[in-house]
């Protein structure tokens, strides 16, 4: 049923912020109460004024969680802005989005970002830790605009993983968000709601909805980590004793390479992994070392969350025999694999392009850019990207994005990028360039040139300067030959 259909099937978004002195969110050694969270949200919304969308330069901070929850509670559209980028790129985002209000941590309000807000007319609001609630400062008053708003009915604009370059904003309606929150029990199968949820994934993408808003809705304590670091994540597991944890795909390898003792993870029954596939051998090694089940899931911001996952019962029956699988379609979704050329649905076991029908989005089949097969038992196995994107530990990098940035350098005549295997991240990007005749540029110079033009995970780990790029008969770069060079 589409969202234009009967509203009877659309659950409301339940209240996310609950006042009270009980601990709600933990960060950097300190608990923040429900009263603190509600007070922060109220202070920011009052500073933003009664109307218009709010843009949040999202970081894993209690105040930012409060702003996200408060905007949903108040029915205010919220646009997430990527924080891990240079001041120049953040300023460009502020100008591009043209939202009436922009909220960011005080340190993110550089002179470049403030200048962009003033140019657009956006109110610039800074948040920083305070005793009773976050300290809210209006650094620049709202101007006359004109401003841009998300599509009508939008609740959240969450960040994609960056398949087509920089992460883009994906609009999710209030109905979609409500359905996603209502279905969160599938995502948290096997968890004990009385124990905290440990969140190291970015707040600005779909993780914020599943790993931050869902616990708030269920009145489950939330422990925020700035980012994933093996020792810090494991120390949080040891301290707070949750029964379920979550890791990025690269986190499995990083944990195995760490010196974290198995007893630190003794409380865990299951570790969920999303954002990409992992080597079944690594999965088995992790399960053997730590005695914890590893369950993969498949989803995307565009689907408002997970569409394939493992239940506890499925893992008991099939866990060892289906290692490497992202599980089965959840009850509110359907999956199929099609031939990329004909569009015909393929039989079990044959590899093709994955398509998804998610009830929370609507009745249409959505074609992904993922290669997969579905076996006779309905389990989904991923086989990489159909569009050639590099999956760097769950972050998607388009080779064309790197090549285009390199080609902007005045000494570069042409460039190509590709992914090569990496034991920790799965894949990493590398690049090669052909210089303009008579020009000169070193690998170090080119890396420095890209530092302000690409996001951190888009940066190639190696840049080779060649006399000429290898080409085929059509004069296209022969990526196979280039891959051999890097191998």
Q: Which of 374, 367, 369 is nearest to 384 (CA)?
A: 369
- Element spanning 177, H or E: helix 174-182
Return the sign of the alpha-carbon dihedral for residues 84, 251, 16, 359: positive
Local confidence pLDDT in tens for the 487 residues of the chain: 344 433 445 568 899 999 999 999 999 999 999 999 999 999 999 999 999 999 999 999 999 999 999 999 999 999 999 998 889 999 999 999 999 999 999 999 999 999 999 999 999 999 998 888 899 999 999 999 899 999 999 999 999 876 444 678 999 999 999 999 987 754 443 455 678 999 999 999 999 999 999 999 999 999 999 999 999 999 999 999 999 999 988 788 889 988 899 999 999 999 999 877 788 988 999 999 999 999 999 998 888 889 999 988 999 999 999 999 999 999 999 999 999 889 999 999 999 999 999 998 889 999 998 889 999 999 999 987 777 788 898 888 888 889 989 999 999 988 999 999 998 888 999 999 999 888 999 999 999 999 989 999 999 999 999 998 988 655 678 888 898 899 7
Count of beta carbons in the 10 Å neighbourhood of residue 105: 18
Our measurement of the distance from residue 93's CA atom to the centroid of its chain's CA atoms, rounded to an integer in Å, reads 18
CA distances from 192 to 33, 232, 286, 315 (A): 20, 21, 22, 17
Backbone angles phi, psi at 402, to 5 degrees: -65, -45
State whether residue 405 is helix, strand or coil. helix
**pLDDT score, position 10:** 58
- Cα 281 → chain centroid: 25
Evaluate whether 282 touches 253 at the Cβ level (below 8 Å). Answer: yes
**Tell me, what's the pLDDT at 277?**
79
Q: Is 8 left (phi over 0), alpha (psi -120 to 50) or beta?
A: alpha
| Same fold for the pair 7-173 and 176-385 | yes
Query: Structural domain boundaries of the chain?
Result: 7-173, 176-385, 390-486
If one counts every other C-beta atom within 10 angstroms of the C-beta of residue 267, the result is 18
pLDDT computed for residue 424 by the predictor:
86
H helices present in 258-344, as ranges? 280-290, 312-318
CATH class for the region spanning 176-385:
alpha beta
Cα Rg of the chain (Å, integer) = 23
Model confidence, pTM? 0.82
CA pair distance 197, 188, nearest whole angstrom: 10
452 touches 88 (CB < 8 A): yes
State how far the Cα of 454 lies from the Cα of 444, in Å rounded to an integer.
15
Number of Cα atoms under 13 Å in the Cβ half of residue 421: 5
Distance CA 77, CA 154 (A): 6
DSSP for 35-88, written as a single string: HHHHHHHHHHHHHH-SSS-EEEE--S-HHHHHHHHHHHHHT--EEEE--SS-HH
Output the pLDDT for position 193.
61
Helix (H) or strand (E) holding 434: strand 426-435
Helix and strand element counts for the chain (H, E): 15, 26
pLDDT of residue 190: 41
- Who's near 375: CB < 8 A, 6+ residues apart? 322, 325, 348, 349, 381
The per-residue pLDDT for 471 is: 81
Half-sphere exposure of 487 (CA within 13 A, CB side): 7
**Burial of 337 (C-beta count, 10 Å sphere; 0-12/13-18/19+):** buried
Topology (CATH level 3) of domain 390-486: GMP Synthetase; Chain A, domain 3 (3.30.300)
- Strand partners of residue 424: none
Question: Which of 401, 334, 339, 398 lies closest to 371, judged by CA?
Answer: 339
- Can you give the pLDDT at residue 3? 45
Please tell me the distance from the alpha carbon of residue 346 to that of residue 323, in angstroms, as a whole number: 22
Backbone phi, then psi, for 132, in 5-degree steps? -85, -30
CATH hierarchy code of domain 7-173: 3.40.50.980
Of residues 247, 209, 208, the one with CA closest to residue 229:
247
Show Cβ contacts of residue 284 under 8 Å, excluding neighbours closer than 6 positions: 320, 323
């Amino acid at each position: 049923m589409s969202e234009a259909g009967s509203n009877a099937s659309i659950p409301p978004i339940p209240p996310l912020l609950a006042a009270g002195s009980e601990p709600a969110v933990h960060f950097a050694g300190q608990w923040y109460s429900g009263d603190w969270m509600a007070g922060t949200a109220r202070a920011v919304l009052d500073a933003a004024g009664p109307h218009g969308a709010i843009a949040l330069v999202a970081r894993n901070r209690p105040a930012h969680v409060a702003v996200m929850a408060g905007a949903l509670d108040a029915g205010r559209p919220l646009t997430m802005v990527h924080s891990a980028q240079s001041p120049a790129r953040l300023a460009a985002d502020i100008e591009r989005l043209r939202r009436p209000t922009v909220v960011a941590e005080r340190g993110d309000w550089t002179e470049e970002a403030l200048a962009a807000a003033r140019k657009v007319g956006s109110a610039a609001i800074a948040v920083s830790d305070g005793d009773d609630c976050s300290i809210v400062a209006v650094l620049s008053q709202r101007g006359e605009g004109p401003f841009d708003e998300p599509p009508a009915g939008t609740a959240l604009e969450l960040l994609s993983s960056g398949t087509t370059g920089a992460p883009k904003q994906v609009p999710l309606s209030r109905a979609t968000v409500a359905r996603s929150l209502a279905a969160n029990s599938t995502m948290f199968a096997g968890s004990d709601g009385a124990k905290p949820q440990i969140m190291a994934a970015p707040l600005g993408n779909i993780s914020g909805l599943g790993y931050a808003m869902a616990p708030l809705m269920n009145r489950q304590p939330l422990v925020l980590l700035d980012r994933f670091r093996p020792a810090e994540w494991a120390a949080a597991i040891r301290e707070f004793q949750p029964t379920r944890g979550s890791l990025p795909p690269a986190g499995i390898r990083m944990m195995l390479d760490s010196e974290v003792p198995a007893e630190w993870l003794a409380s865990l029954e299951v570790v969920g992994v999303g954002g990409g596939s992992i080597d079944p051998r690594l999965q088995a090694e992790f399960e053997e070392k730590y005695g914890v089940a590893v369950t993969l899931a498949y989803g995307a911001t565009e689907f408002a969350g997970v569409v394939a996952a493992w239940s506890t019962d499925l893992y008991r029956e099939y866990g060892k025999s289906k290692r490497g699988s992202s599980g089965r379609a959840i009850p509110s979704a359907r999956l199929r694999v099609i031939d990329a050329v004909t569009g015909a649905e393929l039989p079990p076991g044959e590899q093709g392009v994955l398509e998804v029908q998610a009830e929370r989005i609507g009745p249409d089949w959505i074609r992904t850019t993922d290669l997969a097969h579905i076996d006779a038992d309905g389990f989904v196995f991923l086989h990489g990207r159909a569009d050639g994107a590099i999956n760097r530990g769950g972050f998607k990098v388009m080779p064309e994005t790197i090549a285009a940035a390199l080609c902007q350098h005045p000494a570069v005549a042409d460039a190509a990028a590709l992914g090569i295997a990496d034991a920790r991240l799965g894949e990493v990007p590398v690049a090669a360039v052909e210089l303009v005749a008579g020009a000169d540029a070193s690998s170090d110079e080119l890396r420095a040139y890209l530092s302000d033009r690409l996001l951190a995970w888009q940066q190639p780990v190696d840049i080779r300067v060649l006399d000429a790029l290898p080409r085929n008969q059509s004069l296209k770069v022969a990526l196979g030959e280039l891959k051999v060079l890097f191998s």
